[in-house]
């Protein structure tokens, strides 16, 4: 019996090592998980603005402070720990520093121009997209630990979507938008996430390696194409979700325009930061 138990434990360890190696040498997994960990860590930037934009009888402040921020920080820590264990050559701290600087400036410029209803609609789009990504990851990942991590994240992001959708439905009539406008904004927000937020996280993650990558590096267009196939095959998209993800399957902007989109916030940080009043934009906390 002791020998059988030892053999069983050894086989389990070997199986776990093989599964972890399959993830480690998969560039698609690295870019997706690393980008998700950076985006989850940037949540406090959104929370401060949301609390200000949604004051009144339906204030979100307590829910943001007690549920949304702590739970998304937990997801970020879990993803970061998984990245560190699977790709120890990746400099997460350096990547987050660059990502945070660029993302804080960009989000601060754009978010303050949105109404409360548009901010909630943006949140609904974001949570829907993230939940679909995690659901696909939970169904296709080679390692059980990663599947469980993604499953828990997908479940939580569905809850966040439902909460934001309820808050959107509670907006005063004067702030509501028509069906056509709402759909145009949904598609615009989806395209913006592809061309800016996710693109920024992808390129930052690609730059912060100590030594040679453990996989064949991908271009952003390749990442979108391959991840799109994974999501189509494993996420079980409904009709509305297919429409929501339609911009992700459309051609990217021309190379020059895309390069500008990906780097303009980074280049602007040094000069524009002097123009931002102290405390004018809530600073995200590193999870």
Report the pLDDT averaged over residues 208-232. Answer: 94
- Does any domain span residue 61? yes
Q: Could you tell me if residue 3 is inside a domain?
A: no
Q: Given a cut of 60, is residue 113 above it in pLDDT?
A: no
Domain count, the chain: 1
Model-wide pTM > 0.85: no
**Helices assigned H by DSSP within 91-196:** 92-111, 116-140, 144-169, 179-192
Q: Is residue 58 part of a domain?
A: yes
d(CA 58, CA 175): 14
Quick count: other Cβ atoms within 10 Å of Cβ 234?
16
Task: Judge whether 86 lies within some domain.
Answer: yes
The pLDDT score that the predictor gives to residue 265 is: 40
Locate tokens 């993230």: which residue?
Answer: 130
Dig out the tokens for 265 from the structure: 């916030």
Assess if residue 1 is contained within a domain: no
Contact yes or no for 159/131 (Cβ under 8 A): no
* pLDDT of 270: 36
Structure tokens at 214: 């453990």
The answer to whether 57 and 215 have CB atoms below 8 angstroms apart is no
CA distance 7 to 11: 6
Q: Does any domain span residue 284?
A: no
- Give me the pLDDT at residue 243, please: 79
Q: Is residue 159 part of a domain?
A: yes
- Tens of pLDDT, residue by residue over 87-97, are 999 999 999 99
Decide: helix, strand or coil at residue 211: coil
Look up the CATH number of the domain holding residue 170. 1.20.1260
What is the domain range of residue 224? 26-273
Overall average pLDDT of the 221-242 stretch: 90
- Is there a domain that residue 84 lies in? yes
């Amino acid at each position: 019996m002791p020998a059988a138990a030892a053999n069983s434990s050894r086989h389990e360890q070997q199986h776990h090592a093989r599964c972890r190696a399959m993830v480690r040498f998969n560039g698609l997994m690295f870019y997706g998980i690393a980008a998700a960990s950076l985006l989850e860590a940037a949540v406090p930037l959104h929370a401060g603005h949301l609390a200000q934009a949604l004051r009144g009888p339906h204030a979100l402040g307590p829910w943001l402070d007690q549920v949304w921020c702590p739970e998304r920080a937990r997801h970020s820590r879990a993803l970061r720990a998984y990245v560190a264990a699977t790709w120890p050559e990746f400099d997460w701290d350096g990547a987050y520093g660059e990502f945070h600087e660029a993302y804080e400036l960009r989000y601060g410029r754009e978010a303050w121009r949105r109404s409360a209803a548009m901010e909630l609609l943006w949140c609904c789009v974001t949570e829907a997209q993230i939940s679909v990504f995690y659901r696909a990851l939970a169904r296709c990942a080679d390692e059980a630990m990663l599947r469980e991590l993604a499953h828990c994240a997908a479940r939580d992001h569905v809850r966040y979507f439902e909460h934001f959708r309820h808050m959107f439905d509670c907006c005063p009539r004067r702030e509501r938008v028509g069906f056509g406008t709402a759909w145009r904004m949904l598609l615009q927000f989806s395209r913006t996430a592809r061309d800016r937020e996710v693109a920024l996280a992808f390129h930052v993650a690609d730059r912060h390696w100590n030594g040679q990558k453990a996989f064949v590096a991908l271009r952003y267009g390749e990442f979108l194409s391959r991840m799109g196939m994974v999501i189509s095959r494993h996420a079980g998209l409904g009709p509305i979700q297919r429409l929501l993800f339609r911009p992700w399957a459309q051609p990217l902007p021309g190379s020059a325009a895309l390069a500008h989109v990906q780097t303009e916030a980074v280049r602007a940080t040094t000069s524009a930061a002097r123009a931002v009043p102290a405390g004018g934009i809530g600073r995200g906390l590193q999870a």
